[in-house]
């Protein structure tokens, strides 16, 4: 109905490839431009909650991804030193029964590879070494052109900016603005289980501590453990959005933590270091024949493990809106549906930073103790908060048109 026959996408990350696949399955010609010289993702883990798995299932990816998945048994928050549980909410088979889809841990590279292979089979054209500089619209021809730094242009009926927090598409649409450093950095790494001397619980675990927290969970069927170590910093001097981190500095930052954490860090030989950046809510996600998706329009702190999931949900909704409405109406409805949901998750993620880092000293510890008491005395209250995130079913909201 939208009369979109050809789409060009800036960015071949998870959001961009999910969108490309969803559109290609509708018979739309898709070109994806990626600035990297080869397809791939930095080695790190992803928590794929049921709300995201439902979309991956709808895209036909569940069977291929199942070979790489690890199923965590609990979502847990533990004390950084004693190991005491503040929260231990069941996942595993109970989560799948409750939400209608599993909760998986996946290596980002595995998901990216499965997506890229599926896109190629669906006829998506993937163009590498394609650094985006901006775009231009041609109203007379009813087209938009994605412009690259080597002078090439790719015309289409619609341009999708899935090019991350430093999106060139967003910059042209809404003006130049640097991302805002959120006062925190994240160290990320993957460790073979064979290198560990202490057993790691089969959970999605957050270790909460003063001014920092540590996340650990298994990947690839339990052969590896992924870690994310977040610490508060007053500034960030590096121009890179990620860089090789000093593992010894990381170990010093988390010295004296629980043996599970210490053993993981002692086994770490390398880690990437990210600055955690954000943006204020954008006034709009679309303009003319260009629209934004994922981190390009709603970057979020990783404290709900929903960044990739939100981009995956975006991809499905945008594709469904384009199949139902004329172009302008499709983009308006996409933003109407997605903006409240993404904003809610952004706010939840930001709120968790204070909880995980025990902000307020004794008061911060009291908040964790209150969470512990609520989890014990009123588990349904805690579960209802997770239901709002994991129980969201975008497929039911937008059933595929027959």
Residues serving a catalytic function are 217
In terms of Cβ atoms closer than 10 Å to its own Cβ (0-12, 13-18, 19+), residue 284 is middle
Strands 153-156 and 143-148: antiparallel
Q: Which residue has tokens 């002078």?
A: 151
DSSP string of 264-303, one letter each residue: HHHH----EEEEEEE-PPPS-SEETTEEE-GGGT----ST
- 132 in helix, strand or coil? strand
Question: What CA–CA distance (Å, rounded) separates 286 from 97?
Answer: 37
Question: What CA–CA distance (Å, rounded) separates 101 from 64?
Answer: 15
Question: What CA–CA distance (Å, rounded) separates 128 from 148?
Answer: 11
210's CB contacts (< 8 A; 6+ apart) are 80, 357, 358, 361, 364
Give the DSSP H/E element, type plus range, for residue 18.
helix 14-24
DSSP conformational letter for 294 = G
Question: What CA–CA distance (Å, rounded) separates 253 from 353?
Answer: 17
């Amino acid at each position: 109905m939208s009369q979109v026959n050809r789409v060009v996408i800036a960015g071949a990350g998870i959001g961009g490839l999910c969108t490309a696949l969803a559109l290609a399955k509708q018979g739309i010609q898709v070109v994806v431009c990626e600035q990297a010289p080869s397809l791939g993702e930095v080695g790190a883990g992803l928590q794929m909650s049921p709300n995201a798995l439902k979309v991956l299932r709808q895209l036909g990816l569940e069977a291929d991804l199942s070979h790489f998945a690890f199923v965590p048994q609990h979502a847990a928050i533990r004390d950084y030193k004693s190991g005491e549980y503040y929260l231990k909410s069941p996942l595993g088979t109970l989560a799948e029964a409750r939400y209608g889809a599993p909760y998986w841990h996946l290596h980002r590279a595995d998901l990216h590879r499965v997506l890229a292979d599926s896109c190629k089979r669906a006829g998506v054209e993937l163009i590498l070494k394609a650094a985006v500089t901006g775009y231009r619209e041609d109203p007379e021809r009813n087209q938009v052109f994605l412009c690259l730094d080597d002078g090439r242009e790719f015309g289409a009926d619609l341009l999708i900016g899935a090019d991350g927090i430093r999106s060139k598409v967003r910059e042209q649409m809404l003006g130049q603005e640097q991302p805002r450093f959120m006062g925190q950095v994240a160290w990320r790494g993957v460790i073979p289980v064979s290198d560990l001397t202490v057993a790691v619980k089969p959970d999605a675990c957050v270790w909460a501590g003063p001014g920092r927290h540590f996340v650990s969970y298994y990947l690839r069927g339990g052969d590896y453990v992924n870690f994310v170590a977040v610490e508060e910093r007053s500034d960030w001097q590096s121009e890179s959005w990620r860089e090789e981190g000093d593992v010894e500095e990381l170990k010093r930052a988390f010295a004296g933590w629980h043996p599970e954490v210490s053993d993981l860090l002692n086994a770490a030989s390398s880690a990437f270091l990210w600055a955690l950046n954000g943006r204020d809510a954008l006034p709009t996600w679309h303009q003319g024949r260009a629209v934004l998706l994922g981190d390009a329009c709603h970057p979020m702190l990783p404290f709900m493990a929903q960044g990739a999931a939100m981009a995956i949900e975006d991809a499905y909704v945008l594709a469904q809106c384009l199949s139902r409405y004329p172009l302008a109406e499709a983009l308006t409805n996409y933003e109407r549906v997605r903006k409240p949901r993404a904003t809610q998750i952004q706010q939840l993620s930001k709120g968790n930073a204070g909880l995980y880092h025990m902000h307020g000293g004794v008061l911060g510890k009291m908040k964790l103790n209150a969470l512990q008491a609520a989890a014990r005395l009123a588990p349904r209250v805690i579960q209802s908060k997770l239901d709002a995130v994991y129980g969201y079913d975008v497929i039911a909201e937008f059933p595929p048109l027959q």
